[in-house]
Amino acid sequence: MRLLLPHLPLLPATFALAVFAFACGASAQEAPADLKQADADYREGVAAVNRNDLATAQAKFEAVVRLAPTVEQGHSALGAVLLREGRLQTGIRELEKALAIKPDDDAAQLNLALAYSQAGGPARALPLFAKLQAASTAEKQALPASVLAAYARALAATGQAAAAIGKMKAAVAEEPHDAGLRNDLGSLYAQEKDWAHAEQELAEAIRVQPDLAAAHLRMGLVLEAEQKPGAADELMQAMKLAPSDASIALEAGKALGDAGQDDQAVAALDQAHRLAPKSTAAAYQLALVDQRVNRVPDAIALLKSIVDAEPKNTDALINLGMALSQLHQAKGGLPYLQRAVALEPKNATAHQDLAAADLQINQVDDAIGELKAAIALAPGEPQLHYNLGVAYKLEDDAADAIPELEKAEKLNPSSFEAPYVLGLLYMQAGRYADAAPQLETSLKLHAENGDGWATLGSVYLKLDRLDDAATALREAIKQLPSQADPHLTLAMVLVKQNQSAQAVEERKIAADLMRAHMNLQRAEVATNSGKSLLASGNVDDAIVQFHDALAFDPKYAEAHLQLANALEKQGKRAEAAAERAQAESLAGAVK
């Protein structure tokens, strides 16, 4: 049995015979002289293939087909050469002609099976692989490992994972020291989430060939899926071994991003995009990470390039719209989000993100409509109900807001947002007994909410739960030390508890905080005025404004910094340095 390697389509050796071979398969219309010339052309074609002169080989085999069109070997040889030239469709046609003449031409069968697989037709390849397997079994011979591997890939592509693993295991048994086959088997195991066997095969592939980048990549992906240590190291090693392979950089970058290692993901995806600047997949993955690491302008540029190249790419349209909203440019993002909704009206995310952009530009009614459309598509999504409840709240529509927020809380009882907003709504409606448990639930889930503690303290005060109110308000003061309101509310509680002296002290603290806040506002106004004067070249008047600002608030770092800039313009370097040091000291204290 004569078989061809799947990665290198070759010629059927049976054709390299004397004219007698042609005569056996030739029609009565084919003259002996034509057959003799065909045989000579064939031999020259084989010689051309051997010296890798595919253009000459193609010409010679085309002559063979023209002189002896009913002889199968000519079509088979021409088809093999066309495949090697990358001309899949024309190669497939010649190989199909060969098999129509002689169905058991094993060389044509294998080459056609490989061509079908390459051309995206693995299902058409499978019967041919099965015939090759049956013929091999009948002759008590094993299929070569490369053929078994190709068979396995076709099975995997058609969803027959177990059979694919079986064929790839047989290929590995034939060539146990072939790292590429081990990598392929490990990849098949990984697709089935058989992590133990995947690790075993990939580890063996790396042992046999330590510089096999694909095996390191797959091992990294497997370790990441198992949440085991070492995943990032394997992914980075794959990139190091194949620094010019954009596909490896892309896969590694995506995996690193999915694992939350955005700094490494950015580096990998930058590399992928640099190596394959026309790849929308690389650009898209890089844009997603850019959005997460606050490189939003870079993300916008990438997403715009994707949308220009693929106007119907809904995911890119959605992310572009949201990226613009991140920069508070929701008005510019609306057209992209509207296009996404028009392209995929059943995409709940598109409706949700369009609603977010509508809210940013205060188009609340439009946002409500989009959120209703999203909920109709995904009624079990708690975030949608929460967003709709908040939108209704913005419209002062508590009657419609409350049921939506209650649904959100029921669907996601581990989220603190819905009970917090519900507590606010109940309080505003005077339903203090209902507000308290909602606020308590929210603060148990998320205690770092100074405003929430202050609100709960006020609700407890209304319910005359004075001890609880004092506790909640002291927690609010702890978290919001510069706010006056919690002190004032606590003073009211203390009065009710007959603790007048303590109440007076709380009111005094509140008054000091309000005074400090007012002085800070005055300092900010004076500093901004000084900056404008400085920008216009009026240094002396600018310095007056900066001194006024510091008179209002001596600890306002920005005023010290701007005063330093002004003094430098007057050549007073020592004074400027002192002001700059003061600004840095105050800024550090704030941090």
Say if residue 591's pLDDT is above 90: no
- 249-276 per-position pLDDT tens digit: 999 999 999 888 999 999 999 999 999 9
Q: Under a CB-based contact definition with an 8 Å cutoff, are residues 324 and 356 in contact? A: no
Does residue 589 surpass a pLDDT of 70? no
- Greater model confidence, 73 or 441: 441
Does the pLDDT value for residue 3 go beyond 50?
no
Q: Select from 455, 496, 445 the least CA-distant residue to 475.
A: 455
Evaluate if residue 211 carries a pLDDT over 60.
Answer: yes
CA gap 475, 486 in Å, rounded: 9
Domains of the chain: 1-141 (1.25.40.10), 522-591 (1.25.40.10)
pLDDT at 11 exceeding the cut of 70: no
Q: What is the pLDDT of residue 587?
A: 79
Q: Assess whether pLDDT exceeds 90 at residue 412.
A: yes
Q: How confident is the model at residue 219 (pLDDT cuts 50, 70, 90)?
A: very high
| Residue 324 · residue 336 · CB < 8 Å | yes
Mean pLDDT confidence for 558-564: 91
Residue burial 565-584, b: 16+ Cβ < 10 Å; e: rest = bbbbeeeeeeebeebbebbe
Task: Say if residue 37's pLDDT is above 60.
Answer: yes
pLDDT in tens, 424-437: 999 999 999 999 99
Helix ranges restricted to H, 483-499: 485-496
Question: Quick one: pLDDT at residue 585?
Answer: 87
- At 24, is the pLDDT very low, low, confident or very high (cuts 50, 70, 90)? very low
Per-residue pLDDT tens digits for 285-299: 999 999 999 999 999
Mean pLDDT on 4-28: 41
- The residue-averaged pLDDT of 127-135 equals 93
Percent of the chain at pLDDT > 90 equals 81
> Is the pLDDT assigned to residue 341 strictly greater than 50?
yes
What average pLDDT is seen over the chain?
A: 91
Distance CA 1, CA 53 (A): 27
Residue 216 pLDDT greater than 50, yes or no: yes
Q: Residue 25: its pLDDT value, please?
A: 52
pLDDT of residue 142: 87
In this prediction the pTM is 0.71
pLDDT at 21: 43
Q: What are the DSSP calls for 4-41, one per residue?
A: --TTS----GGGSS-HHHHHHH--TTS-HHHHHHHHHH
Which percentage of the chain shows pLDDT scores above 70?
A: 94
* Backbone φ, ψ for residue 172 (5° rounding): -65, -40
Give the sign of the dihedral formed by CA 532, CA 534, CA 539, CA 545.
positive
Q: Shortest CA distance to 209 belongs to which of 178, 231, 240, 233?
A: 178
How high is the pLDDT of residue 590?
Answer: 53
What is the per-residue pLDDT for 255? 93
Give the pLDDT mean for 478-488. 94
Tokens at residue 414, please?
């581990």
Residue 324 backbone zone (phi > 0: left; psi -120 to 50: alpha; other: beta): alpha
Neighbouring CB atoms inside 10 A of 278's CB total 9
- pLDDT per residue over 66-123, tens digit each? 999 998 889 999 999 999 998 999 999 999 999 999 998 888 999 999 999 888 899 9
- Per-residue pLDDT of 343-380, as tens digits, reads 999 999 999 999 999 999 999 999 999 999 999 999 99
pLDDT tens sequence across 325-338? 999 999 999 999 99
Distance separating alpha carbons of residues 186 and 206, to the nearest angstrom: 11
Mean pLDDT across 31-49:
87
Q: Using CA atoms in the order 169, 175, 181, 183, what is the torsion angle rounded to 10 degrees?
A: 90
Q: What angle do CA 25, 26, 27 make, to 5 degrees?
A: 125
- Region of 575 (left: φ > 0; alpha: ψ -120 to 50; beta: rest) is alpha
Q: What DSSP character marks residue 69?
A: T
**Coil/strand/helix, residue 248:** helix
Query: Residue 227: which residues within 8 A CB-CB, separation 6 or more?
Result: none
pLDDT confidence of residue 31: 59
Q: Which DSSP state fits 484?
A: S
